Structure 1
């Protein structure tokens, strides 16, 4: 197992975790350091005040009679019961002299005496509401004793002390302190993840683009981004290779077809027209048209992910629909279309035009008299519906009609010159734009094709 480094994701998580604990620990130690319930060095102002009191006591003791210890005990007993400051005396060895007060203060004093016994470094500590300070040296008759000062602590405990005393508040403060660090960590972790997600969505929409920003951030995401870009490069090469192969095959097939039609024309000129030669010419023409459609499909798929832009519906399809109205009139039929929503579509313009054109021309071809084209917005999607009043197709074939070279009726396709690629091109084009195409039967018995495309963010 490798040790974590700051450039790796798990190293950053580890560092943030320990940094958070370190900050919390430092905060707790700092709070304890300023906690009056812990023993601290006496402030200089209070130290000077208490040293002056010790000197005053030494002066007063020197004027009294009796042994040195008796004088101190007598002085201690003469203190008022409710005096704001009380004085306690001990021998240099730490033995209390006289009455040390009530049971609670006596126990606190004994504890403090064991902790603070150096007059050169007087200390202070809070016991409940009783603040003890000392020791201070008292002298008299060439003898010494230690004086401790006690006074009532009337200040409210600092807020951080109250926090330390309440586990729930301490946990809440810990969460507040760690929140900025954790938010930064979450942002640092999710930022490259969001970039990777956006790149994956672009690929799902048919945009095979290399994104250099994917190779930034923690080592794990850097490696994932590099692998993702390699995958996109491989996909581009694979798609380009397949489409070029299809294009080359289709192109090579046109040469023998051209020679076949020329030979058939020469045979018809020498032998005259016959049903067999006419059949050969018809099938050769259909095959040539099929190859032309394959070439067109391969070219559009080859450039669909490279040539993308944002189009308004009017710029994209207005001319196409106007031409379709004219074409329908020439066939003795009527085509109507609704107003176009004021939205944009991002994608390959020629491919999107081909998608709708194939559906509209298919509807004109098989409609009896009327074709309706409607466009509407549903959420973030554009829904385009093309309906005709033709004979429709069997319900069990509604899915299959989008397959390449699929024919509902071979005889009908021969009469109309269909190659079975129109709806396949539409389905492929729509899928490359992260949409879908569906077929259904309408109330008139005809066919309805619904195209759903994603609206571009404006």
Structure 2
């Protein structure tokens, strides 16, 4: 029998990449369909659920690819300068159709500052965080950005019930902290934490902070970048 040296992790990564691209095309089609039939579809709970779940799966696949590249030591941050209010506005625009359909109000409160980060990595991290806020909010989501002690702090707040005490966390998550025996492995948290950790300046590296309160009184997810 032939010895077929198959790198199954590479096979999975290629399959995930193809699925991610297909779902991206599906999401674009859903946006176009909503725009063409706005009166009918904005109030359709089935259509909103379809779009939300497709977005969630797309985010999961982005995270899986990122974690695979992290494991292969092939994930790095390409730092560029960005004007934060514009970055957040452009980022929010892709979520606006679904937010409108779900009746969720979203606002931005960002200082007029520049930040230095990898836009693609941070987009993936924010997609995960906003998608999570959509799931648990009652009716409002707030994006924030400010400078504190030499860090750029980008936050996503909601008016939901907040994070349980066991999830409130400051720092960097390790892969060993993931629990595959529970219903939620926190892969999304690990991915966002890893993205923050890839941003460094001198001895300082980025990290995440989960807490409750904020302007809306619910969960607050913050990414701290040096």
Smaller-chain TM-score bracket: 0.5 to 0.7
2:213 match: 442
CA-atom RMSD in angstroms: 3.6
1:425 matched to 2:196: no
Q: Is the 8 A contact 2:207 2:223 kept in 1?
A: yes
Match of 1:304 among 76, 95, 102: 76
Superposed, 1:156-171 pairs within 5 Å as none
> Which string of whole-angstrom CA distances, capped at 9 and with x for unpartnered residues, describes residues 340-377 of structure 1?
422231x3221122122221221112111111111112
**Which residue does the alignment assign to 1:354?**
124
Contact kept, 8 Å, 1:250 with 1:295, in 2: the verdict is: no
> Is the alpha carbon distance of 1:293 and 1:250 closer, same or farther for their aligned partners in structure 2, counting shifts above 3 Å?
farther
Q: C-alpha distance in 2, partners of 1:384/1:287? A: 23
Q: 1:390 deviation in Å?
A: 1.5
Corresponding residue for residue 452 of structure 1 = 224
Match of residue 32 from structure 2: none
Q: Does 1:336 align with 2:107?
A: yes
Matched-pair contact (CA < 8 Å) for 2:160–2:219? yes
- Label 1:250 to 1:403 Cα distance change in 2 as closer, same or farther (>3 A): farther
Judge conservation of contact 1:324–1:335 (CA < 8 Å) in 2. Answer: no
Helix, strand or coil at the partner of 1:321: helix
State how 1:248-397 maps to structure 2 within 5 Å.
248=10, 250-251=12-13, 293-299=63-69, 302-305=74-77, 307-314=78-85, 316-345=87-116, 347-397=117-167
User: 1:337 Cα deviation (Å)?
Assistant: 0.9
Q: Are the aligned partners of 1:390 and 1:447 in contact in 2 as well (CA < 8 Å)?
A: yes
Give the Cα–Cα distance (whole angstroms) in 1 for the partners of residues 207 and 135 of structure 2: 23
Counterpart CA distance in 1 for 2:94 and 2:62 is 22
Per the alignment, in what secondary structure is the counterpart of residue 74 of structure 2?
helix
Structure that is richer in helix per residue: 1
The answer on whether the counterparts of 2:193 and 2:208 sit within 8 Å (CA) in structure 1 is yes
What's the counterpart of residue 41 of structure 1?
Answer: none
Inter-CA distance 374–287: structure 2 relative to 1 (3 Å threshold):
closer
8 Å Cα contact 1:363-1:371 kept in structure 2? yes
2: CA distance between counterparts of 1:293 and 1:402? 15
Choose between structure 1 and 2 for higher RCO, CA contacts under 8 A separated by at least 6 residues: 2
Per-residue deviation, 1:326: 3.3
Which is richer in strand?
2
Task: State the structure with more CA Rg.
Answer: 1
Q: CA deviation at 1:290?
A: 5.2
Question: What is the Cα deviation at residue 334 of structure 1?
Answer: 1.0
Distance (whole Å) between structure 2 residues aligned to residue 247 and residue 288 of structure 1? 19
Residue 304 of structure 1: how far off its partner (Å): 1.8
Aligned residue for 2:97, secondary structure, equals helix
Cα 1:293–1:248, aligned 2, differ >3 Å: closer, same or farther?
same
Q: Report how far residue 403 of structure 1 moved.
A: 6.2
**Which is further off, 287-296 or 336-345?**
287-296
How far residue 427 of structure 1 moved from its aligned partner, in angstroms, is: 0.9
User: What is the number of residues matched between the two proteins?
Assistant: 169
Give 3-state SS (helix, strand or coil) of 2:144's partner.
strand
Q: Distance in 2 between matches of 1:304 and 1:336?
A: 31
**Structure 1 segments of 4 or more deviating over 6 A?**
286-289
Matches of 1:246 and 1:438, distance apart in 2 = 35
Structure 1 gap ranges (5+): 1-244, 255-285, 414-418
Distance in 2, Cα, partners of 1:448 & 1:308? 25
Q: CA deviation at 1:393?
A: 2.8
Question: Could you tell me how far 1:423 is from its partner in structure 2?
Answer: 2.1
